[in-house]
Amino acid sequence: MDRVIRVGSRESRLAVIQSEIVMDAIREADPTVTTELVTMKTTGDKILDRTLDQIGGKGLFVRELDRALLAGEVDLTVHSMKDLPAELDANLPIVAVSRREAPYDVLVLPEGCEVWDQSKPVGCASARRSIQLKALYPELDIRPIRGNIQTRLRKLDSGEYGALVLAQAGLHRLGLDSRIHRVFSPEELIPSACQGILAVQAREGFDPSCLRTFHDQDAFVCAMAERAFIRALDGGCSSPVAAFARLVDVHTMKLTGMYVSTDRRHMRVETIHCSPTDGTARATELAKRMKREG
């Protein structure tokens, strides 16, 4: 009898597309498996009139999915890995991560515009982006914006904003590359930890063999280093911290971390090189030292 794997997902169009990527990989790895998609609206999707730091941070995007997974209502859950809180339930391990899509932040202009009107506010959803963007363009009026990508684009196109800063990976997965006006280099805007990576969670004891063709070990190593940096700084969605790791070669990881003081008046950026096997430990050391030195 065919095995059925139920995959839990947020109900946004992007979340569904991302879950379908995982489901396709499962069926390719094991054609005897049948997959079922189970969607739900999370607390973070329901409350859109306040910024995430005002309502509890990134955990609000996973709470309902975690509950369904623990209750056995679904067998796997799929997340944009950058949305996972720094601390995870030990009973719900990450069992696979995707190859990393383009991890960068991008500038998006209103439909049909070729010139950025900087007299209008820029919609920006995170403190990490806002602080770095303000350093690049001190005169900008940067305002928070919530909602899924389509909702944000509608607000942009209606004239409410002059531009948005979004993740390139999400636009690409939605087939909206044409909306990208410019790509920010990681030297301009350090990406969110794990941006561009999908994470699959399961209950402890789940056999991940059906995800063997999906899992990318290079992305996993980088993601664990980035998460270690954020965790060492107690970083949540509201924390203006960032980490970006890249494998230069099989022997070398390049990790850039950003630390911002509590009052947000001072920002530090530092880059280290280390062995990929030491990435998590070295990232933790870097974060603690940057915090200690202020």
| pLDDT in the model for residue 55 | 45
Delimit the domains of the chain by residue range: 1-98+197-215, 105-183, 216-294
Catalytic annotation, residues: 82-83, 128-129, 146, 152, 237
The whole-number pLDDT of residue 41 equals 78
- The predicted model scores a pTM of 0.91
Q: Which residue is associated with the tokens 């920006």?
A: 124
Sheet holding 3-10, edge to edge: 33-40, 3-10, 76-80, 198-202, 94-97
Per residue of the chain (294 residues), what is the pLDDT tens digit? 579 999 999 999 999 999 999 999 999 999 999 999 999 976 555 544 444 454 445 556 688 999 999 999 999 999 999 999 888 999 999 999 999 999 999 999 999 999 999 999 999 988 899 999 999 999 999 999 988 999 999 999 999 999 999 999 999 999 999 999 999 999 999 999 999 999 999 999 999 999 999 999 999 999 999 999 999 998 654 568 899 999 999 999 999 999 998 778 788 999 999 999 999 999 999 999 998 887
What is the residue-wise DSSP string for 218-277? HHHHHHHHHHHHHHHTT--TTS--EEEEEEEETTEEEEEEEEE-TTS--EEEEEEEE-GG
**How far is 142 from 120, CA to CA, in rounded Å?**
9
pLDDT, residue 149, reads 95
pLDDT at residue 48 in the model: 46
CB 238 within 8 A of CB 53: yes
CB 38 within 8 A of CB 9: yes
Third-level CATH fold of 105-183: D-Maltodextrin-Binding Protein; domain 2 (3.40.190)
Extract the tokens encoding 44: 């973070």
Please tell me the predicted confidence (pLDDT) of residue 268.
Answer: 92
Predicted local distance difference test score (pLDDT) of residue 263: 78
Domain 1-98+197-215 and domain 105-183 have a common topology:
yes
* 216-294 placed in CATH 3.30.160.40: yes
The predicted-structure confidence for 205-251, as pLDDT tens digits, reads as follows: 999 999 999 999 999 999 999 999 999 998 654 568 899 999 999 99
Strand partners, 33: 3
Q: Which option is the CATH number for 1-98+197-215: 3.30.9.10, 3.40.50.300, 1.10.540.10, 3.40.190.10?
A: 3.40.190.10
pLDDT at 59: 59
pLDDT at 237: 47
Going by C-beta distance under 8 Å and a sequence separation of 6 or more, which residues neighbour residue 79? 61, 62, 65, 198, 199, 200, 201
- pLDDT for 54 equals 44
Cα(42)–Cα(27) distance, integer angstroms: 27
The separation between CA 99 and the C-alpha centre of its own chain, rounded to angstroms, equals 13
